[in-house]
């Protein structure tokens, strides 16, 4: 499902581009140590979440420009929490990227990611209702 390609939407910057813009070129490039698989997964997963939840930005009081960045931040946090230590993150992301090619695993992974999305972006005003 996940293939090696660049982000197809010109209006959405990659996570690494956003980090370089926010942190500066030296600090942003220092994060290369996280590996290509990590940045690929953050970009692809956040794009897919954006496509699955295109109407959520206003519900979260975010602009259409802020929402993709918030999804990247969420995906970054999610992947970091999945890896037991920061040293394992690179290996975890490499393995995850390969494992997502398995249909059954992919479905279970997305179930977990969607649940984490709901918990992360829960809107208190909606009481017991999660975003759709």
Q: Render pLDDT for 7-51 as a digit per residue (tens, 0 to 9).
A: 444 468 999 999 888 888 888 777 888 899 999 999 999 999 999
Q: Which of 18-22, 42-46, 61-65, 101-105 has the lowest mean pLDDT?
A: 61-65
CA distance 105 to 33: 27
- The answer as to whether 116 is a domain residue is yes
Contact (Cβ atoms closer than 8 angstroms) between residue 36 and residue 96: no
User: Quick one: DSSP state of residue 63?
Assistant: -
Q: pLDDT-derived band of residue 6, with 50, 70 and 90 as boundaries?
A: very low
Dihedral pair phi/psi, residue 113, rounded to 5° = -65, -40
- The answer as to whether 2 is a domain residue is no
- The answer as to whether 10 is a domain residue is no
Q: For residue 8, what are its two tokens?
A: 């197809």
- The answer as to whether 132 is a domain residue is no
Full residue range of the structural domain in which residue 74 is found = 15-126
- The answer as to whether 28 is a domain residue is yes
Q: For residue 16, what are its two tokens?
A: 């690494």
In total, how many domains does the chain have?
A: 1
On average, the pLDDT of the chain sits at 84
- The answer as to whether 7 is a domain residue is no
Q: Which of 53-57, 87-91, 102-106 has the lowest mean pLDDT?
A: 53-57
CA distance 46 to 67: 10
Q: Which of 45-49, 115-119, 127-131 has the lowest mean pLDDT?
A: 127-131
Contact (Cβ atoms closer than 8 angstroms) between residue 42 and residue 15: yes
Residue 121 or 45, more confident: 45
- The answer as to whether 78 is a domain residue is yes
Half-sphere exposure of 5 (CA within 13 A, CB side): 9
pTM of the complete model: 0.80
- The answer as to whether 67 is a domain residue is yes
CA distance 102 to 14: 25
Percentage of the chain lying above the pLDDT 70 cut: 84
């Amino acid at each position: 499902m996940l293939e090696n390609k660049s982000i197809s939407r010109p209006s959405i910057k990659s996570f690494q581009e956003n980090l370089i813009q926010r942190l500066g070129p030296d600090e942003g490039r220092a994060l290369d140590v996280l590996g290509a698989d990590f940045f690929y997964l953050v970009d692809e997963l956040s794009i897919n979440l954006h496509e699955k939840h295109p109407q959520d930005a206003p519900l979260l009081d975010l602009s259409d420009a802020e929402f993709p960045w918030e999804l990247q931040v969420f995906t970054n946090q999610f992947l970091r929490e999945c890896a037991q230590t920061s040293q394992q993150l690179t290996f975890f992301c490499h393995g995850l990227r390969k494992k997502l090619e398995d249909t059954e695993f992919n479905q279970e992974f997305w179930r977990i990611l969607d649940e984490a999305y709901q918990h992360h972006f829960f809107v208190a005003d909606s009481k017991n209702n999660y975003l759709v």
